[in-house]
Structure 1
Amino acid sequence: MLFRYSARCVLGGLALLLLPAMALAEKKSPPQSWIDPDTGHRVIRVTDEPGSASLYFNINAYTPDGKQMIYTTADRGIGVIDLATFTAKPLVKGPVGGGPGAVVVGQKTPTVYYFKGLKGDAQYASLWSANIQTGEQKKIADLPRRAGIFSINADETLGVGSYIIGDGEDYNGRQAGQVAQQHTPDEPLDKKTKMARRLAARLPMVVFTVDLHTGQIKPVFASTDWIDHLQFSPTDSTLLMYAHQGEWQQVEKLWTIRTDGSQNKHINPRIMKMEGSGHQWWDHNGKNIWYDLHIPFGMISFVAGYNVENGDRTWFHYAPEESSIHFTRSVDGTLFAGDGSDAPGAKWLYLFHPELIKDDHSLGEHLIQPGRFQAERLVNMSKHNYHLEPNVNFTPDGKYVIFRSNMLGPTYVFAVEVHK
């Protein structure tokens, strides 16, 4: 009896000693993959590093051959993921960039373009490139004061960026050279107030291009509107899309322009009071610009498309419980996806099957083609804090939807299989 009691004590003591180590191991090793019990789709945790994240939804993260993907590391550097094996490796040590457009992969070569601040002077940054295959890094150009580069054109000859003239506060409440203050969870940032203040400030801005071979800077246009979300067409090297930033129903949102400043065109004029649109992106074939459209804001919602070649429009309706922060489309154009939101019942990642509504009787020219989404749930996002935007996008082969999430605590990059 004495031996049995001692053995129990020893085993109990060992268990107590092992519990912290087991808990630590469990904390460091979240699940690598699982089948979502609510959807039947397999979810894969792609990165091992807490704090790693995929790129903003409308920024190209994939090499031209579709085999590798760029992501940001915990130290605000750049890493590379092999899409065949989902293994990750570092490429550029951080910190780099200054926003969601700080890192972008070229459409023509396996090159990632990024900018980073100059040491000792936060007002200035320089544009760099890194070869994803060899790791070779090189400086392209020093940028104007308070400038950043946000998109690279199709033939990788130009980058486009913008800068604020003077010392007015930017969207984050920073003046030139200042570092954003940290806010605790008890002092949340009021995004609506920040956006309204920035819009009303009417700060003078310049949109410019930089020659990727010579480093030459050329202005495209100047404005006191808040210009943001600069995106080159993935196929037309001289065509640029940009947005007037602010509350969606308060601004004339989407525009296209040539890099020489010509053909400045507003592509979605408002047709109803309180109409709002935003979160736009280019189709992979460069023919359509897609965006989230609300007519009026918060009531009837569509994913709307505008054909830049002929002006045709297509609107796919989606239900309120399918509301998503961002939408995206597969490379072959057969599917859409959404990353869900805090709207009632909408904490899911969605796969959308688009369906055009046929009509052989309507008369008129240049009428909008109506359609609707048939929704399929991909991932239960009830444990995700939507202060972090998941930013969905399809892999080039269409097999996975990539997203970032804090559902396991820290932020990681995930992939969910499109087919069950």
Structure 2
Amino acid sequence: MFRSRIFRAAVIAAACIGAHALADTLPSTWVDKDTGHRVWRLTPEPDSASLYFNYTAVSPDGKWMVYNAPDGIHGLDLVTRKTRLLVANHGDRMATRTIAVGRKSNVVFFLSDDPGTHATSVNQVDFDTGVVRKLVDVPAGYKIDSINADDTLAAGTYEIKGEATARQDAPGGPLNQPRNKGEMMERRLAARIPLVLFTIDLKSGKETRLLRSTDWINHLLFSPTDPGLLMYCHEGPWQKVDRIWTIRTDGSANTLIHRRTMAMEIAGHEFWGQDGKTVWYDWQYPKGAAFYVAGYNLETGRRTAYQLERNDWSIHFNVSNDGTLFAGDGGDPGQVAHAPDGEWIVLLRPQSVLGPGAINQKDFWQPGVFRPERLVNMAHHNYHLEPNIRFTPDKKMVVFRTNMFGPTYVLGVEVDKTAAGAADVMSTPDLARRFNPVAPVSTGAVAAK
């Protein structure tokens, strides 16, 4: 037993040494041969990753972006591109879990577990000073997902113990052992596990229940400007759920954002425009056949639909702070679009196609198209890991994560093309193969939406 432990420790140590050696030899920048755009490796740590595409990740002053690595929570200075460790994991990779960056102050909100009591708390760490402050304790089993616009509330869900239906124990084993993601989503939806959607005051610890449901509630996301407005989704295979909802933090105005009018119509992977006025989302009418990024303006009720071609569809989309540019992270042929040539980070320029004199009503969709420009060739990326793009505040760069080199790193690609004649032009897939010869396998990770 002792020798076995020594052997395992040696294997782990060797893998860590190899990963760090890889980081030392990977170039920090190059120009993608297929697109003409400069790519930067923004994180030095192997297995470092940026946040999910619609989580708040950049500080209010636009200087810092948070990311995670095996040793803890890090800050990336977007001006100097220097990084610093903010909160250490101390050997336990899940000891700290990032929730979001504050909207009002330059802090990262995170969960941590007390090593002695195993109690979980919500904490914050200051990007500039590194000072950590504990805020409130969280009961066991509570999941925290989002922080509101004035940094006073957290939102989350918890399952109601003892009330799960018999479907949870149906033949086929536990919910956390699916053969694939599609199966997991089907079984979790059918389980009808009772849960509560709640907020918790970050000063007093007061809990407010917003909603009790046996639907699967997920992807909580506060408005970037309205502290009392929360977006959430009914999770599951998209053709089986009315997905996108908003609710006030007093539990009122529970509102469905997109009501379907066609069988097999799907809408999801929702995200906020940074002005807080518009909810954007992937809309397929019907699933896998016609592709749009749709927007709903909460103030005016206007709906906008930007059409895009199959090869320009992405698992996730995002929008610049000023709303003038969109970007997508692409997808392999196993995804819901089944795109034959969709493995690209892509820039999407919106263009209205509303002609003069057209009959138009307040409840009509406002039509548009996207003019695409490819930024990075992702042919050697395994889409089992979703790249999760976001713009930097100055919209000069699109940030994403990739496993094309083996370990995960955070990369950034410049929106403007590099001047012709750059000495470091190279094929991004060829560069990736030098460090990770194994070709990626199409996983169809989100094909069962």
Q: Determine the structure 1 residue equivalent to 2:432.
A: none
SS in 2 for 1:419: strand
The Cα of 1:28 is off from its aligned counterpart by 4.0
Q: Which residue of 1 aligns with 2:184?
A: 194
SS of alignment partner, residue 257 of structure 1: strand
Q: 1:409 to 1:365 in 2, by over 3 A?
A: same
1:263 paired with 2:259, answer: no
Task: Flag the 1:107–1:324 CA change in 2: closer, same or farther, 3 A.
Answer: same
Q: 1:159 aligns to what? A: 154
Q: 1: CA distance between counterparts of 2:18 and 2:149?
A: 50
Task: Report deviation, 1:215.
Answer: 1.7
Contact kept? 1:97, 1:114, Cα under 8 Å: no
Bigger Cα Rg: 1
Report if aligned partners of 1:327, 1:392 keep a CA contact under 8 Å in 2: yes
Q: 1:312 to 1:51 in 2, by over 3 A?
A: same
> Contact 2:70–2:93 (CA<8 Å) still a contact in 1?
no
Identity %: 48
Task: Kindly indicate whether the alpha-carbon contact (under 8 Å) linking 1:314 and 1:369 is maintained by their aligned counterparts in 2.
Answer: yes
Equivalent residue number for residue 125 of structure 2: 130
| Residue of structure 2 equivalent to 1:374 | 371
Q: Distance in 2 between matches of 1:89 and 1:304?
A: 37
One-letter amino acid of the structure 2 residue matched with residue 110 of structure 1: N
Equivalent of 1:419 in 416, 419, 436: 416
When residues 48 and 363 of structure 1 are mapped into structure 2, their CA distance, relative to the original with a 3 A threshold, is closer
Does residue 40 of the first structure (1) align with residue 30 of the second (2)?
no
Find the residue that maps to 1:213 and give its secondary structure.
coil
Question: Does the C-alpha gap of structure 1 residues 198 and 22 become closer, same or farther in structure 2, counting only changes over 3 Å?
Answer: closer
Could you say what the CA RMSD is over the residues aligned between the two structures, in angstroms? 2.5
Residue of 17, 27, 30 corresponding to 1:31: 27
Q: C-alpha displacement at 1:156, in angstroms?
A: 1.0
CA contact (8 A) 2:23 2:46 kept: no
Provide TM-score, normalisation by structure 1: 0.86
The residue number in structure 2 matching 1:11 is: none
Counterpart-to-counterpart distance in 1, 2:261 and 2:410 = 39
Query: Do 1:130 and 1:137's aligned partners in 2 also have CA atoms closer than 8 Å?
Result: yes
1:90 is the counterpart of 2:85: yes
Distance 1:413 1:180 in 2: 31
Give 1:93 deviation, angstroms. Answer: 1.1
2:270 is paired with a residue of what secondary structure? Answer: strand
How far apart, CA to CA, are the structure 1 residues paired with 2:31 and 2:312? 21
* Aligned residue runs from structure 1 range 200-279, under 5 A: 200-279=190-269
Q: Specify whether residues 44 and 206 from structure 1 end up closer, same or farther in structure 2 by C-alpha distance, changes over 3 A only.
A: same
1:54-133 equivalence runs, <5 A: 54-75=50-71, 77-94=72-89, 102-119=98-115, 125-133=120-128
CA 1:69–1:363 in 2, change beyond 3 Å: closer, same or farther?
A: closer
Deviation of residue 97 (structure 1)? 6.3
- Residue 24 (structure 1) shift: 9.1
**Maintained 8 Å contact 1:67/1:82:** yes
Query: Which digits, 9 at most, give the CA deviation of each residue in 1:206-226, with x for residues without a partner?
Result: 111111111222211111100
- Higher relative contact order by CA 8 Å / sep ≥ 6: 1 or 2? 2
Q: Unmatched 5+ residue regions in structure 1?
A: 1-20
Counterpart amino acid of residue 78 in structure 1: I
1:50 aligns with 2:50: no
CA offsets 1:10-63 (integer angstroms, 9 cap, x no match): xxxxxxxxxxx9999567421111000000000000111100011100011111
Work out the number of aligned pairs and report it.
385
Q: What SS does the corresponding residue of 2:386 show, helix, strand or coil? A: coil
TM-score scaled by length of structure 2: 0.81
